[in-house]
Amino acid sequence: MSDKILVAYASGCGSTAEVAEAVGQALCEAGAAVDVRLAKNVTDVSPYRAVIVGSAIRMGRWLPEAVQFVETHREPLSRVPVAYFLGCMTLEDDTEENRRTVAAYLDPVCEIVQPVDVGLFAGVMDYSKLSFVFRLMMKAMGTSEGDFRDWEAIRAWAADLRPALLGVSIGGNV
């Protein structure tokens, strides 16, 4: 097994893909070898020393392909350090209460594989990339349109992850 890290992600409209790329870049700049790939395109996680899985949040849940990735690779993921991240519009207003709410969205995947760390980030709302029905729902809920990602926080989280991912022994997943 190499010291390579996999960043696998699911993205509804592309903004989580951009976060995954930024996470991968920050890890590379911190000296790690990284592959960034769509979760649905990953068939084998055994070549990786650690795995980061990220997803956009839709209706209070990770996207199905991200959950499926964790379920499918449950056994090998349980033997390596794993971290999760998400992008969620609820964090446009980054309060402690909203962070607790959003952190709970990870409970279903944390029950499958416990992560060494999680990154909770605000997302992007671009009505032009949504289906008509979903756009109506988001507007009715008063969801602001715009890019609310904090790139500095995303890169800092990723850079700080490297020791937790590569410094934990195999089987030492929390």
- Report helix, strand or coil for 6: strand
Structure tokens at 56: 């956009």
**Residue 162 is which amino acid?**
R
> Total domain count for the chain?
1
What is Dmax (Cα atoms) for the chain?
49
**Residue 85 is which amino acid?**
F
Structure tokens at 50: 């650690």
Q: What is the pLDDT of residues 98-147, one digit of tens each?
A: 999 999 999 999 999 999 999 999 987 666 666 667 667 766 776 677 78
**Residue 4 is which amino acid?**
K
- Is residue 110 one of the residues assigned to a domain? yes
- Is residue 100 one of the residues assigned to a domain? yes
Beta strands in 123-165 (DSSP E): 124-125, 146-147
Q: What local confidence, expressed as pLDDT, does residue 139 receive?
A: 66
Range of the domain at 115: 4-166
Query: Whole-angstrom Cα distance, residue 101 to residue 95?
Result: 10
Q: What is the pLDDT of residues 46-86, one digit of tens each?
A: 999 999 999 998 888 999 999 999 999 999 999 999 999 99
CATH of the domain at 96: 3.40.50.360
Entry field: residues in the chain: 174
- Is residue 172 one of the residues assigned to a domain? no
